[in-house]
């Protein structure tokens, strides 16, 4: 059981470190979004995908270790969480304390990451709104205003005012 506990603590530390690596990338990601540096944003995204893959593998490993611990503790067939494991270790206060600290650090890192992702999502939405505004502005600059001409049914004919530039005589 002690080796499983050490393995679980190691996995939780690795997960926390991976989240901290992701947090380190968020500053450069935010800068790339604000300054419209798509090449840097692409590089950051590739690094994030790599770290996310590592996190997925660590999650699988954590679940496997928790399943093995459940078997050892006689909870075969149950899927235990880290919090449930902490509760089951009430007779082992030192292991319980270590596991609680590791869980809390991981939760804190994940919460920071979630907050930063929300901030970046807001920035991306604002950038998309600006692009949409620019497109609408460019589109409207190319259109001429319609005339006030109507047909027999009182509908606008849709005629446009002069399509050319200035109407100046020299």
99-131 core/surface letters (b: 16 or more CB in 10 A; e: else): beebbebbeebbeebeebeeeeeeeeeeeeeee
CA 50: distance to chain centroid? 14
Q: In the prediction, which pLDDT does 46 show?
A: 94
The tens digit of pLDDT for each residue in 29-49 reads: 888 888 888 899 899 999 999
Q: Hey, where are the domains in the chain? A: 2-141
What was the pLDDT predicted at 64?
A: 92
Domain 2-141 has CATH 1.20.58.300: yes
Token couple for 44: 């950051």
Give dist(CA 8, CA 2) in Å, integer.
Answer: 10
- What pTM was computed for the model? 0.71
Q: Which portions of the chain are predicted below pLDDT 70?
A: 1, 142-150, 154, 156-170
H/E segment holding residue 19:
helix 2-34
For residue 165, the model assigns a pLDDT of 52
């Amino acid at each position: 059981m002690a080796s499983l506990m050490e393995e679980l603590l190691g996995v939780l530390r690795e997960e926390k470190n991976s989240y901290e690596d992701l947090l380190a990338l968020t500053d450069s990601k935010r800068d790339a979004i604000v300054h419209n540096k798509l090449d840097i944003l692409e590089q950051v995204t590739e690094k994030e995908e790599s770290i996310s893959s590592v996190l997925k593998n660590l999650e699988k490993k954590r679940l496997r270790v928790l399943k093995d611990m459940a078997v050892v503790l006689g909870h075969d067939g149950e899927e235990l969480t880290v919090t449930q494991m902490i509760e089951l270790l009430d007779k082992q206060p030192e292991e319980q304390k270590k596991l609680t600290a590791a869980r809390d650090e991981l939760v804190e890192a994940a919460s920071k990451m979630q907050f930063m992702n929300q901030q970046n999502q807001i920035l991306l939405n604002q950038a998309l709104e600006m692009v949409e505004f620019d497109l609408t502005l460019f589109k409207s600059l190319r259109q001429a205003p319609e005339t006030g001409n109507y047909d027999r049914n009182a509908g606008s004919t849709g005629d446009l005012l002069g399509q050319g530039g200035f109407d100046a005589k020299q």
